[in-house]
């Protein structure tokens, strides 16, 4: 995500909803974009358009965990928003390659009950932190929804 990702995330939030974690792209994503410009620009301008595409993708993607849901919003001319309510989350999978483990990036898959799954981009920075934030949000929801039994 960009420098102002925190303020952009608040566009998606509902009233009374609190942001727990805002994911961002890893610097490796930027490195790959610049690689396209430097090494592939000779190929009919492909490198420039690949760089522009990655720049737009990074600027228009929002990934966040709130106290109510997980939101994956992407797109500029066409918009797609995937979201799963916290009470519908069954689990999550973190996939990291060897380079991902070394440099701290990976892919997260959020599985929901009855709503399918959300595949987040492969170059998320600190995917284990995202998973921990997701677990924290689920724990908060469970603790909030559990009502204590009254002693008779």
Residues 89-98 as b/e (b if ≥16 CB within 10 A, e otherwise) read: beebeeebee
The pLDDT assigned to 51 comes to 80
The pLDDT assigned to 23 comes to 87
The pLDDT assigned to 98 comes to 94
Q: Does residue 82 contact residue 72 with C-beta atoms inside 8 Å?
A: yes
CATH number of 18-144: 2.30.29.30
The pLDDT assigned to 2 comes to 36
The pLDDT assigned to 58 comes to 83
At 108, phi and psi to the nearest 5? -120, 135
What digits encode the pLDDT tens for the residues 4-29?
A: 444 455 566 777 778 888 888 888 88
Q: What is the full DSSP assignment across 6-50?
A: HHHHTTTPPTT--EEEE--B-HHHHHHHHHHHHHHTTTTTHHHHH
Q: What is the CA radius of gyration of the chain?
A: 18
The pLDDT assigned to 103 comes to 92
Helix (H, G, I), strand (E, B) or coil at 128: helix
Tokens of 122: 């492969």
Residues of the chain with pLDDT under 50: 1-7
The pLDDT assigned to 126 comes to 92
The pLDDT assigned to 26 comes to 85
The pLDDT assigned to 148 comes to 62
Q: Does residue 36 contact residue 92 with C-beta atoms inside 8 Å?
A: no
The pLDDT assigned to 5 comes to 46
């Amino acid at each position: 995500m960009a420098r102002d990702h925190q303020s952009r995330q608040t566009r998606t939030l509902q009233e009374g909803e609190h942001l727990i974690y805002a994911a961002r792209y890893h610097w490796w994503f930027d490195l790959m974009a610049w690689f396209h410009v430097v090494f592939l620009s000779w190929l009919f301008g492909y490198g420039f358009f690949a760089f522009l595409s990655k720049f737009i993708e990074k600027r228009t993607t929002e990934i966040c965990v709130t106290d109510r849901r997980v939101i994956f919003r992407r797109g500029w001319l066409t918009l797609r928003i995937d979201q799963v309510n916290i009470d519908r989350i069954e689990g999550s999978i973190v996939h990291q390659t060897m380079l991902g483990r070394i440099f701290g990036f990976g892919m997260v898959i959020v599985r929901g009950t009855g709503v399918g799954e959300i595949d987040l981009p492969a170059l998320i920075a600190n995917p284990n932190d995202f998973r921990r934030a997701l677990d924290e949000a689920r724990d908060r929801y469970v603790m909030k929804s559990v009502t204590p039994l009254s002693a008779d």
